[in-house]
Amino acid sequence: MNYEIYSDLDVTKDLGVFEFLSVGEKRVINKRIAFIPSAVPFVYNLAFGDINEDGEIDDLTISNNGGRNKVLSTLAKVVEIYTNKYPERLIYFRGSTKERTRLYRMAVGLNPDELAKKIENIC
Number of domains comprising the chain: 1
Give the pLDDT confidence score for residue 122 in this predicted structure.
47
Give me the amino acid identity at 99.
E
Weakly modelled stretches of the chain, pLDDT under 70: 1-2, 111-123
- Residue 20 has a CB neighbour count (10 Å cut-off) of 22
For residues 102-120, one letter each, b for 16 or more C-beta atoms within 10 angstroms of the residue's C-beta and e for the rest, the string is eebeebeeebeeebeebee
Is 21 among the domain residues?
A: yes
Is 1 among the domain residues?
A: no
Give the pLDDT confidence score for residue 53 in this predicted structure.
93
Is 108 among the domain residues?
A: yes
Predicted structure pTM score? 0.85
- Provide the domain limits for residue 117: 10-122
Residues 6+ apart with CB under 8 A from 20: 6, 8, 9, 10, 31, 74
Is 91 among the domain residues?
A: yes
Is 53 among the domain residues?
A: yes
DSSP bridge partners of 63: none
